Homo-oligomer: A and B are copies of this chain.
Amino acid sequence: MKKLSVAILGFGTVGQGVRDVLCNHQDRLKEIAGIPVEISTILIKHPEKHHTKAPHVRFTTDFQSVLDDPAIDVVFEAIVGKEPAYSYLRQCIIAGKHVITANKEMFQAHGQELKQLAAEYDVGIGFDATTAGGIPIIQTIQHLLQVNKINRVQAILNGTSNYILTDMRENGSTFDDALLKAQSLGYAESDPTNDIEGYDALYKLKILCELIFDEQPVWEHVKCVGISQISAKAIKQEAASGNRIKHIAEIALTEGAITANIAPKSVSAEHPLYAIEGVNNAIHMKTDIIGDLTLSGPGAGAFPTASAMVEDFCHIVNKHMKAEGKVTTIAYS
């Protein structure tokens, strides 16, 4: 095997970000893999939209041709929504391909099954980009869990909501004005429901919950409250007392039971999430040995998300492909 071939499924902002990061890091990736890493195929939906011609890259609308190509070792999935992403990844895993996804909506629903399937077929599965964008939260948690138990997580997982709340407080904007601003800046979708009603945070919280506790609470009993009902007046009142309203997603293990909560909360300056502003995300964890840890950074964006996916790729190369003897050994210490 003279090169490592990858495919990208979906070529929206995240898929294009993956393409760019892979192309811009050829030397580094070759150093890590020991052989060149090449984008072999990109699966697109609307061929008429993509006029970019890239030498050596095949653009196709035919998923079967990706699946049937034995030269493709790793598949990056950057499709929106559960289907066809889930079916595609399932088939890729069964075909022995390593997979990396940024698709939180799909992964919160099918993540556990895909992880089990990947273990069964002995392929790598990367999903760090599903939660908190560029913050390497999944790999950090996997790393910590080797020694620590995590008892509670409080997190800001939706950058759009946090941007809106920050703008309302700093500029005295109404909710509607702040939402319009978020949309004009590209932070919020034209249909912002998932962000402002808390569903996006809920998806990510489910992925964290599965990873940390290996089980889920009865989600039907968990009220998911977004930020759409927050008034400028409430924000102003809290600010006058030195507090900030933050949209906080929380899971905890208390007396053997998992509890979850997703709602806006007023936090004081002493709270670890108080200082997280704008489109940033943050995860605050209580662990049994280390104590409290907080990670914060950009929660979304094509490049942070693509970076997280390519970091997953490096991890899979190191952990799975080297063991398979498919790639040579490594410079990275």
Task: Please give the residue numbers on chain A whose beta carbons come within 8 Å of chain B beta carbons, in ascending order.
Answer: 21, 25, 28, 32, 115, 118-119, 125, 133-136, 139-140, 142-144, 146-148, 269, 272, 274-275, 289-298, 301, 303-304, 306-308, 310-311, 314-315, 318-319, 322-323, 329, 332-333
**Contact B311–A143 (Cβ < 8 Å):** yes
A-B contact pairs, 22 of them (CB 8 A): A21-B147, A28-B147, A133-B290, A134-B289, A136-B144, A139-B143, A143-B314, A143-B315, A146-B310, A147-B310, A147-B311, A269-B275, A274-B275, A275-B275, A289-B303, A290-B307, A291-B297, A291-B301, A293-B295, A294-B294, A294-B296, A323-B329
> What are the residues of chain B within 8 A of A133 when measuring CB–CB?
290
> What are the residues of chain B within 8 A of A310 when measuring CB–CB?
146-147
Name the residue on B nearest A22 (C-beta).
Answer: B147
**Contact B32–A146 (Cβ < 8 Å):** yes
**Contact A293–B297 (Cβ < 8 Å):** yes
> What are the residues of chain B within 8 A of A290 when measuring CB–CB?
133-135, 297-298, 303-304, 307-308
> What are the residues of chain B within 8 A of A301 when measuring CB–CB?
291
> What are the residues of chain B within 8 A of A314 when measuring CB–CB?
143, 146-147
**Contact B298–A295 (Cβ < 8 Å):** no
Also in contact, A333 and B119, with CB within 8 A (given A146-B28, A311-B147): yes
A89 to B: closest C-beta gap in Å: 15
> What are the residues of chain B within 8 A of A21 when measuring CB–CB?
147, 289
Instruction: Kindly state the separation between the CA atoms of A269 and B147 in the bound complex, as whole angstroms.
Output: 34
> What are the residues of chain B within 8 A of A329 when measuring CB–CB?
323
